[in-house]
Chain A
Amino acid sequence: MQDFSQEFMSAIGLILSGDSDLWEIVLLSLRVSLLAVVIAALIGMPLGAALAVARFPGRRAVVILLNALMGLPPVVVGLLVYLCLSRSGPLGVLQLLYTPTAMIIAQVVLVTPIITALTRQTIETLDAEYAEQLRSLGISRLASVPTLLWDARLALLTAFLAGFGRAIAEVGAVIMVGGNINHVTRVMTTTIALETSKGNLALALALGAILIFIAVTVTAVVSLLAPQERASEMRHA
């Protein structure tokens, strides 16, 4: 184990000494996962809010299904997206397989249910609080969606970050639809899987430490935007 910790430290050193390949991989990871989460949020937040306030038969079943979809297995999503994007699949003509776009699509599929479900939960609680007030102002249920979303924006940050965490840490789907092609679709998680399979365990772990560091940094940066908001609100008030 002595050996291993030494190897680990030297791997960290190697990585941080300005390996341009690594930065390319880190940037691609961030680009793919952040874009996927932004797209998933644009879809999932309005959808989740609408589901929170709407009343229709079968709503409970939809909510249960949505909550279950939070646990979609990445490898199954990868397989489904592969089958769609493969040249012999229905969307093959788009030539998206083995591109970062394919990876974004797979992560959007994975993350959208998470953001939708968490938004539904958040907005439902808020709606219970404000429903009477909103209705007395003559605002219909669906028309109150933007107001509720805006009011819950800080709480929804958590939904966004949960989605990001899922996306950046996921390997099963992106390795299948991205192909882990060097300089094209190789991201942090697929690199870690590759180095592990080469038996370079210390290097793989060092890359893992960096991935965690990046996830923490992104979470911190996004979270730090929130208190500033609150402070400026107070100033305006």
Chain B
Amino acid sequence: MTGIPFRAAFVGLAVALGLSGAAKAADEFIVVQSTTSTANSGLLDAILPQFTAKTGIAVRVVAVGTGQAIKNAENGDGDVLLVHAKPAEEKFVADGWGVQRFDVMYNDFVLIGPESDPAGVKGGKDVVAAMKAVADKGAPFASRGDDSGTHKAELKFWKEAGVDVKAASGGWYRETGSGMGATLNAAAGMGAYVLSDRATWISFGNKAGMEIVVEGDQRLFNQYGVILVNPEKRPSVKVEAGQAFVDWLIGAEGQAAIAGFQLEGQQLFFPNAK
């Protein structure tokens, strides 16, 4: 008797909470493994409702680094892959995990640095020379260090600059092992240089004392691709819904939606599907 209100409260709570969740029944949906730059910049939030309105297919986005997104897709935990590391994407398809890769859009990388610019690289047009100068100066550099698309691009530039960052790791070269935003936060805290995609940088809220120091180099071009995960390898892939999304994204409507997305008056992504 004495215990009834006590127990009933718990049971009631559990039932109420359980039901409130069950109400949201599963409409048709696909899981897209994508990267933090497309999700955190607000691009996907802006364009996906248009796709859902047209097709009735909800899109569930898992935003992680490109490396992890590819791994998750290989595990069958996604229907579509939308990332930005072309060589890794081509390997994904070549290994049979993906059906076919399509160009979707591009933006570009920018080199961010502290306003004080200890390495004196501000205003340069050559990203490799600038990064070499950062290394020569031993100025702090924050790296994603997480096998993301941005990390892969950064490593390519170090290679071109002839800088062995492995040897410098823990010294001036600091691998955060985190997403773009977390790495920008860390760079702001350390007064470090950092390579970022432009979309994340523009939408980033904590720019504290940092600015773009190098931009406009051809090599900073950042291509995004979309791939349907191969149903022959992963039978759980929702082929029709996933293909509908790929078709929409590289078709006229999706491309227009991407072009129409602006933040602070700037277009962040430039559609270039063929």
State the A residues within 8 Å of B (CB).
Answer: 27-28, 30-31, 34-35, 38, 86-89, 92, 95, 97-98, 100, 150, 153, 179-182, 184, 194, 196-201, 203, 225, 228-229, 232-233, 236
Contact = CB atoms under 8 A, between A and B. Distances in A.
Contacts of B53: none
Contacts of B181: 196-199
Name the residue among B3, B14, B205 with the largest chain A CB count within 10 angstroms. Answer: B205
Interface in B66-123: 72, 74-77
B110 to A, nearest CB: 15
Contacts of A229: 2-3, 5-6
A28 B61 CA distance: 18
Contact of A198 (B21, B60, B203): B203
Which 7 A-B pairs have CB atoms at the shortest separation, nearest pair first?
A87-B76, A197-B181, A199-B206, A199-B205, A179-B62, A31-B17, A199-B204
Interface residues on B, range: 35 or more
B62 A199 contact: no
B10 interface: yes
A194 B61 CA distance: 13
Contact of A150 (B3, B21, B62, B234): B3
A199 B21 contact: no
Contacts of B178: 197
Nearest to B44: A182
A28 B181 CA distance: 25
A203 B2 CA distance: 44
A34 B13 contact: yes
Contacts of A31: 17-18, 20-21
A35 B179 contact: no
Interface in B1-52: 1-3, 5-6, 9-10, 13-14, 17-18, 20-21, 31, 36, 40, 45
B131 interface: no
Contact of A197 (B5, B9, B36): B36
A88 B74 CA distance: 9
Nearest to B71: A86
Contact of B185 (A92, A100, A150, A197): A197
B207 interface: yes
6 contacts: A31-B17, A34-B14, A86-B77, A87-B234, A181-B61, A197-B178
A35 B203 CA distance: 36
A218 B151 CA distance: 42
Nearest to B11: A38
Nearest to B7: A153
Given A38-B14, A201-B205, A225 B6 contact: yes
B236 interface: yes
A236 B234 contact: no
Nearest to B13: A34
A179 to B, nearest CB: 4
Interface string B216-236: 000000000000000000101
B184 interface: yes
B180 interface: yes
A35 B76 contact: no
Interface string B169-211: 0000000001111101100000000000000000111110000
Contacts of B179: 197
B21 A201 contact: no
Nearest to A218: B13
A92 B76 contact: yes
Nearest to A157: B6
A179 B60 CA distance: 9
A95 B235 CA distance: 13
Interface string B147-182: 000000000000000000000000000000011111
Contacts of B2: 229, 232-233, 236
